[in-house]
Every structure is written in C-alpha cells, then in structure tokens.
A and B are shown apart, each in its own frame.
Chain A
Amino acid sequence: MRTGVFVCWCGLNIGGVVDVPRVVEEISHYPGVARAVDYRYMCSDPGQQLIKDVIREERLDSVVIAACSPGMHEATFQSVAASAGVNPYRCEIANIREQCSWPHQNEPGEATRKAIELIQAAIEKVRGDEALSALSIPVTRRALIIGAGIAGMQAALDIAEAGHEVVLVERLPHIGGHMAQLSETFPTLDCSQCILTPKTSEVGRHPRIKLLTNSEVESISGYVGNFTVRIRRKATYVNWDLCTGCGLCTEKCPSRASSTFERGLVKEPAISIAFPQAVPHKPVISAEACGHFTKGKCGVCEKVCPVGAIDYQQQDALFEEKVGAIVVATGYDLHPKAKVGEYGYGVYPDVIDGLEFERLNSASGPTQGQIRRPSDGKVPKEVVFIQCVGSRDQENGYPYCSKICCMYTAKHARLYKHKVSDGQPYVFYMDIRAGGKGYEEFVQHATEEEGVLYLRGRVARVFQDGDALVVFGVDTLSGKKVEIRADMVVLATAIVPASGAKELARVLKTATDQYGFFSEAHPKLRPVESLTRGIYIAGCAQAPKDIPDTVTQAGSAAAKVLALFSAERLSHSPAVAAVDEELCSGCGVCVEACAYDARTLDTRRRVAVVNDVLCEGCGACAVACPNGATRQKNASRSQVFSMIDAVVG
C-alpha cells in the first residue's frame, strides 16, 4: 500500500491548536505512509494541486486527508483523488477540526495527540478500502407536488414549463389555497384573485400538469428518481367528466352546510362550488350535510342536472403514479379557536381571525365586500386588531413569529379605513416587524396617513358587554391601561402547519421540526431541500412566510427538481451493505434493523438481499446480523477493529 497523508492547517482553525509539523513528522513514519505533507488551506486550488502532484510523484494508491468534517469537503477531495488516478472510495477524511481542534482549543498538547490518532485510524481504514465505483440509477422525469396553493402551483408551472410532467395533488376540491381567500395583498393592495386567477387557469389547462383535486397522498415507496405514489381521490359524488359546471344543482339544493372557504361565516348548499373563480369549476357534495346521504330522501340535484352527472354511488378512487421528485407545499392553518379563551374567540361571533376578515372584505365574500360584523350585520365603527395571538407566546402558543401578521394587520386596518371612513381602527402590537421591499413604508402609511391608532401592548381580555366587545389592554408607551368598547375584534392568530402535515412527513419518511413544519436540509444553504433526497419543500409547509417569499421558494424548489431531472442517471454511493449468501441464514434481523426499507428477504432462496440504491450505508444491518453475513462495504469488521487499535493501541 502507498498512502499519502495531507494535513490541513485550515488557517488557525487547526494550525492554531494542533502542532501540525509534529503531526506530519510522526505520521510520515507510520507503516504504509509514502509521504505526509501539510498545507495552509488544503481545499484551495493550490492545495488541491498539491494533492494531485504528490499522488503522481509518489504513485499513491490511497489518500488520507486530515482536515474539516467530511460533510464539508469529502466530495472535493474524492474528486481530486479521482482526477489524479486514485479510486475516490480509497480517499478517507480524518476530521481533525470539528472533532479535534475546535473542542480541544484549551489543550493543544492533547489535541495534537488526538489528531495523530485520528489520522492513524483513517490510515488503517483506507488500508482495507476496496476500490468501488459509484452506483447508477435511472431518473423518472416526472414530479409530484403535494398542495396546490400558490407555492405548489408556482412550482408546478415552473417544472411543467421546462418540459416535464407534473402530478399536482390537492386535498380540497379546488386549487389556489389560502391565497384564493384573500381580498387584497400587501404591500401593493392589488386584488388577490386578480393576480391568482391567471395562475389557477394556467394550471387548470396546462397540458403537462395532471391535476388531482379532492385527493390525498396515501403512501409513497421508492427513492430519489424512482418514487411510486399512491393517491386517493375522495368521492365527489359528481362525475366531473360529464359536469359542465352550470351550477343548477347548487341553486336548487335544499340542504345547507357550513362553508369552509368562507371560514364558517355563511352556510352554502350541500352541493356547491366554493367560489366563482374556482378551478376546477365543478361542484362537490358534502355527504355530512346532503339530504340524500343523511336522511336518504332528497335527490333534487340528480333530477335537475341536465347532463346526469350526479353519482351518489361514486367511491373513492386509488391512483398510482411514478415520479422522480416530490415537492411538499402543504401550506398552513391558523391557531385553533379553542386555544384563545381570554379573547372569547369562538364564543363571541364578532371576534374573528384574519382570514375571516379577508372574507368580509372580499367582493365575492358573504357581505360582497362590505365590512359588516357577523353577529348582526352592523357596520363596525370601532375595530380592534390584536397581533401576535399565539405567536411569540411561549406560555400559551408558539415561541416563533408568524412573520406575516404585522403586514396583513396593517393591510386590514387600511382596507377597513378605505371602506368605513368614519371608523376607528386600533392595532395592539408587540413590535412592528416590517422587513421587506416596500413593507415599512406600507405600515408608516397606515399610522401617519390613514389614522390607524397603533398601541404598543397586549390585550388581557375581550368581553362581550351588551352590543359591544370590551377590550382591556395596556399601552406600554404611555404606561396606561386602555379600555376600548369595540364593535368587532380581529385576531392575528399564529400560523401553524396544515393539519395532517406530521402524518404526511411520516409517509414521506422526512423530518418536521417540533411544531410540525417540514425541516429543511440546511437553514441557510439548502433551504428548499428536505432531509430526504428527492423531496423538496416550498411555502408555509416549511415555515410561516408571505406570498413573495413563497413564490421565490417555490421557484427554487422547481429549479432543484429540474437540476435533478437534467441528468440521465443519478449516482449513488457504492459504500452500501452486502451479503455473504453462504453465511446468511435468512433470519430477517437485518430487515427489521433497516430504516430505509433497503433490506428484504428472498423467500425462495431464503437469504437476505440488499437494494443498493435504497441503502444509505448506515451499517445498522451489519451490526445486527448475528452471523456476520452482512458486511458494510469499506467499513468491514476488520477495518473497524484496526481503527480502534490505531486509536487505543
């Protein structure tokens, strides 16, 4: 064996603690080492050139790089080794920064000793490394997008426009998400539907987008490039292929259901289309409210439908789709009503949340855009807006900031003033967080030009007193208690992950944070990739964010998918598990141990097998195997034992 050892100073990160010249001196005498050299920044171009030169001069067959974590530069050094003729899987990293110089800054002597031992262990490992070649897997160039709000639609359009097919799954009967419920958008006050409907219609008619609404993802199997997805399309009881969306059934339907789209502010027919611009413009029967299903009597819609589209016998349908990449864009919900007892939310009809205010303000909403309070339809003259309800509240809610509430509350207060010019809006806030292009100016306009009264402080209690809602609060700038007799109270409730997000994360085998938002692979450098390869995230599924940020992230997720689809085949690390079939008894312990579904039993031959592309090389099965039949390539038992010897021996 001819091994070269390259010790990096990493400026002072390593060199300031570890005695690098001494390390090089000691290691150069270690058995099998052809040459040991050091360099100030091994990852720099001259550093890489140095490695290549030494490989050629010494005719090396293996390389050990003593530097930072393999998470940072393993790929760099593997490709350097390969370009100079050394098999990249015979290039090992000894992490003498994160695991040595950084934690042992105050004990340089010990750190130097440890660095030597870590390098010796890496030399022992590389001694047993096989020359492997990367596995190659095919890519299905078709994407699944879960959720058809603005994030999902944007990602779908970007991918479809680039020429690839997209399966877009939405659990509601229509697309558009929460953005379809908004009246106007900040900071420009343009109508939400006006900027959304061009996208919804484009998605609806795009030849490369397969739209599955009223549908949910049931299960997913496979791996990057090769996922198989099972999708359940829930029964709508209307044959959408026949339905023309004429709306006769909704006009004649005698039963009423609470409208989810209108946030429960009104009742709608049991067979209905959520809103006029809905895509697809087809009705759905709510079985909980429909007279035919609840009482077994009514059949009005079936009688009036001119094309015979009503189908009470319709069943859920299961689809299977093969895709290569998945974008999760499941969006958000608002903090539940039951949790805000002090404001009487859910008890007093005139205490509403931000989305309910959007509906009151929407031209297609229950009041045709007039601001009328839910209890008696009166135009409210004093409206109190309360920010941070559930957000930034470690005791009763969530510690995080929901990010959009400062802006939409300012928008609500301004829209209210535009419609009720003699009304007085009050805003209770903790801080105004208006970071964004044109945002601070937007809030300033509310406070300075439009007479919105901002009070810095919390509201302790909202109480119904006859016709009015009494708001007990505090203005911390003047230090005074404030009592306002309001006609309506609007709560900026916290953004929480959409219901079912955690269950979906389990199906996808990817991670969420403690609140249920999907975790990104790196908070700064990999913000749209999930921890599972081939699965990307966009929009509020990842964290609260506004429309511009959501659209940006959706485009970024689409770009990642397109990059994945740009290759004919994907490569996968060959350092996976392997089975010695002569030793294997087919006991199945490895199947239990595998977290990636990469191990299965061949029942005919009674041996365990490895699906190479699913295997992440974690080694759990190799450890679990009772008779040593499973072996981890390039981390064999003998390699591990000689590494231990090198450290403790």
Chain B
Amino acid sequence: MNSCPELLRPCWQGFFRADEDEWRGVTASLPPDGGQGLRERRMRYPYFPGCTLRAKARGFESSALASAGALGVQLDELPNWQCCGATFPLQADNSFSLVSPARTLASARKMGERLVTLCSACYNVLKRTNHVMRTDADRRDKVNAFIEEDYRGDLEVVHFLEVLRDDIGFDALARSVKVPLGGLAAAPYYGCLLLRPADELAFDDPEAPHILEDFLSALGCRAVDHPYKIECCGSYVALEPGDLASGPSRMVVESARTRGAQVIITSCPLCQYNLDISQQGARGHSGVGVPVVYFTQLLAIALGLSEDVLGFEGHVISPGPLLRSIGAMGSEATA
C-alpha cells in the first residue's frame, strides 16, 4: 500500500475530452420508463468529471451519469476540462494554484449557471475557488489577468447530491426506485471535503449532516449512524509507507461495522480507496469486510439500471456478494 498513482497523478499532462457518443451510449441503455415523469422536465447542467473519475473511479461516473439520465438530468461534460487543482491552496499569496480551477469555472459559466461535480475533492476545490473569485477582488483580478477571462464567481458549484435533493427531491427519487434495497444497512461516510469549511461550502450541517441519510432513506436503505462519519479517512497520508493513514480509516470502518453496517457509501474517491484498502490487513481479524461503494452505485442499482454501469472493480472487499445476497444484483455470471 505504498502508491496510488492514479489518485494523485497531475492531470494537466493531457486534456480529457468528453466522448459524446460514449455518453449517449450510456443513456441509451436506460430502461425506457426510467425516471418516469421526471424525464419530461429534463434538467441540463454543465458537468465537471475530474481526473479520478477517468482513472480509479470509473464506476462512480458511469453509475452517476446513468442514474442522472434515468432521473431526467442531463449532465453536459465541459469541453477541454482540466485538473480541478486537487487541493485548495491555503496560502493567501498563492494564486497560481487557482488558475486551473478558475479556468474551469470560467468555461462552465459560458455553458450555464450551475456546475455539477461528483468527486468531493473537485467539489471542494471548485467551490472554494469560486468563493475567492466572488469575494476577493484582488485575487480575482490577478487570476483573471492570467487566464484572460473576466470571471466574477457568478456560477453556482453544486454537488450531484444537491441536484438529487434540491432539483429532483428525495421524495420524487423514492418514487423512482425500481429495486427497493430492502432495508440494506448502509453507513454514510462524509469525510471532510464535502462539509468544510462550512461557511464557504454551505452544503449541510458540518457537525450533524443528514443529506446522505436522507438519500439512503429514499432508496429504501437503513442509514446506520456512526460517530466517525465526518472524521478524517487519513487522506493523502495513505501514500506514505506504514500505518499512519490506515489507522483512521480502520476506525471509520470499524465504527460503521460494529453498528451493523453492511456497506459504506461515500462520494470521495480518496475516501473510497482508503477505507477499502485499510481492510486488506484487518480482514483476517474481523472476519467480515464492509464494502465501500459510491453513493451513485447504490442509486443505479435502486433505479434498476444495467449492471454494466456499476463499474465495481479493484475492490479489496467486493460489494458483489453482499448485493447478490440481498437480490440487488444478478448472479455472478451476469455481473
């Protein structure tokens, strides 16, 4: 466990470009009645995938895009997008790290008024950069001069969870569920990037968040409350040799497992990686592993979408056996 190259590889080595045909292929595979009446009021937003969703977390994106389509939301990938910046620079005199996310924001603003993200890290960096561009005239002018834009922070950066909550509504989402998850005990894991700093992100109550719980209830799951749901997973310390990061990650997994969680959901690729891989050594002790999946993967299952979009691969604790055992996925041959 000494490297996680795809998570950290700087993505400005090469630009990604959305493959329109591929995207259409995903939406075309939806069941014709997916999303029911929601399809009629189709919502369309610019969308920023981020590098990890094209590397380590492909299943996060494919399940999200397919679910969005089924719910009547079209996510239009930004053309020529580049790295979000990966971490928000905390030095007040470092404006250079804002260049990449600001360029993304400026180009998104030309496509619409809201920008949808999936990855917690991208959400955090883009929303905080947007806050700087909106409120700090000096840094805004400096960055704008460099990227040759006149972007003033008048875009709203939203997480896909917010689209589900505010645009679709969890009640409507519950009505769209095709495969109720039969009280599956799922532990929400927020990590840090979705919630803090609270005044800039204004995403949910930073101490007692409930958006993932509400989401799980809508899918027919039982949300398992646990004390480590907003604690740190160990973050990039995972790249250092030794047990520094696996300690916190194991605490998170244990706090969920001992309270009866069968699965943990997250929206952060780094959290997913850390929580999952921390169980590599511990599996022998506890006997049972807890699979860690993206919230969109459970969503896609509940919406009855094709298993092709789930993209479960490379898990230390595979979610397959659990989901098959509750009838949420077909037999191994078809999975």
Contacts and interface: CB of A to CB of B under 8 A. Distances in A.
A-B interaction: yes
Contacts of B281: none
B227 A342 contact: no
A41 interface: no
B123 to A, nearest CB: 21
A472 B205 contact: no
Nearest to A460: B231
B207 interface: yes
A472 B227 contact: yes
A463 interface: yes
Contacts of B259: 465
Nearest to A341: B208
B207 A470 contact: no
A340 B208 CA distance: 9
Max chain B C-beta neighbours (<10 A), residue from A341, A465, A472? A341
Interface in A454-471: 461, 463-465, 470
Contact of A341 (B207, B225, B226, B227): B207
Contacts of A344: 208
Interface in B204-254: 205-208, 225-227
A463 B207 contact: no
A342 to B, nearest CB: 4
Max chain A C-beta neighbours (<10 A), residue from B205, B207, B225, B259? B207
B207 to A, nearest CB: 4
Contact of B227 (A347, A396, A470): A470
A461 B205 contact: no
Interface in B273-326: none
Interface in A388-415: 396
Contacts, number: 18
A470 B206 CA distance: 19
Contacts of A461: 227
A396 B165 CA distance: 25
Contacts of A470: 227
Contacts of B227: 461, 463, 465, 470, 472
A341 B225 CA distance: 13
A96 to B, nearest CB: 40
A386 to B, nearest CB: 14
Nearest to B210: A341
A461 B207 CA distance: 9
A344 B207 CA distance: 9
A341 B207 CA distance: 5
A558 to B, nearest CB: 44
A534 B225 CA distance: 56
Nearest to A342: B207
Contacts of A396: 207
Contacts of B206: 341
A645 to B, nearest CB: 42
Interface string A462-486: 0111000010100000000000000
Contacts of A341: 205-208
A175 B225 CA distance: 43
A397 to B, nearest CB: 12
A461 B227 CA distance: 8
A340 B205 CA distance: 10
Interface string A429-467: 000000000000000000000000000000001011100
Contacts of B225: 464
Nearest to A461: B227
Interface in A341-359: 341-342, 344, 347
Interface string B180-208: 00000000000000000000000001111
A460 to B, nearest CB: 9
B14 to A, nearest CB: 41
Nearest to B204: A341
B247 to A, nearest CB: 12
A325 to B, nearest CB: 43
Nearest to A340: B207
Contacts of B205: 341
B270 to A, nearest CB: 22
Interface in A322-343: 340-342
Contacts of A342: 207-208
B180 to A, nearest CB: 27
Contacts of A463: 226-227
Nearest to B209: A341
B138 to A, nearest CB: 25
Contacts of B207: 340-342, 396
A473 B68 CA distance: 41
Nearest to A344: B208
A196 B207 CA distance: 40
A502 to B, nearest CB: 23
A465 B224 CA distance: 12
A342 B225 CA distance: 13
A615 to B, nearest CB: 44
A465 B259 CA distance: 8
A354 B282 CA distance: 43
Interface string A531-571: 00000000000000000000000000000000000000000
Contacts of B208: 341-342, 344, 347
A347 B259 CA distance: 18
Contacts of A340: 207
A341 B213 CA distance: 15
Nearest to A396: B207
B195 to A, nearest CB: 11
B205 to A, nearest CB: 5
Nearest to A345: B208
Contacts of A347: 208
A351 to B, nearest CB: 12
A493 to B, nearest CB: 15
A341 B208 CA distance: 5
Max chain B C-beta neighbours (<10 A), residue from A344, A396, A463, A470? A463
A396 B206 CA distance: 10
A172 B226 CA distance: 41
Contacts of A465: 227, 259
A347 B208 CA distance: 10
A24 to B, nearest CB: 51
A340 B226 CA distance: 17
B79 to A, nearest CB: 40
Nearest to A463: B227
Nearest to B197: A395
Nearest to A462: B227
A457 B207 CA distance: 18
A8 to B, nearest CB: 47
Contacts of A464: 225
Interface string A271-297: 000000000000000000000000000
A502 B281 CA distance: 59
B15 to A, nearest CB: 39
Nearest to A466: B259
Nearest to B227: A463
A461 B259 CA distance: 17
Interface in A84-99: none
A554 B186 CA distance: 57
Interface string B80-114: 00000000000000000000000000000000000
Max chain A C-beta neighbours (<10 A), residue from B206, B208, B226, B259? B208
Interface in B44-102: none
A75 B206 CA distance: 55
A51 B30 CA distance: 98
A340 B207 CA distance: 8
A464 B224 CA distance: 12
15 contacts: A341-B205, A341-B206, A341-B207, A341-B208, A342-B207, A342-B208, A344-B208, A396-B207, A461-B227, A463-B226, A463-B227, A464-B225, A465-B227, A465-B259, A472-B227
Given A341-B208, A463-B226, 11 more contacts: A340-B207, A341-B205, A341-B207, A342-B208, A344-B208, A347-B208, A396-B207, A464-B225, A465-B227, A465-B259, A472-B227
Top 9 A-B pairs, shortest CB-CB distance: A341-B208, A341-B207, A463-B227, A342-B207, A341-B205, A461-B227, A470-B227, A342-B208, A472-B227
Interface of B: 205-208, 225-227, 259
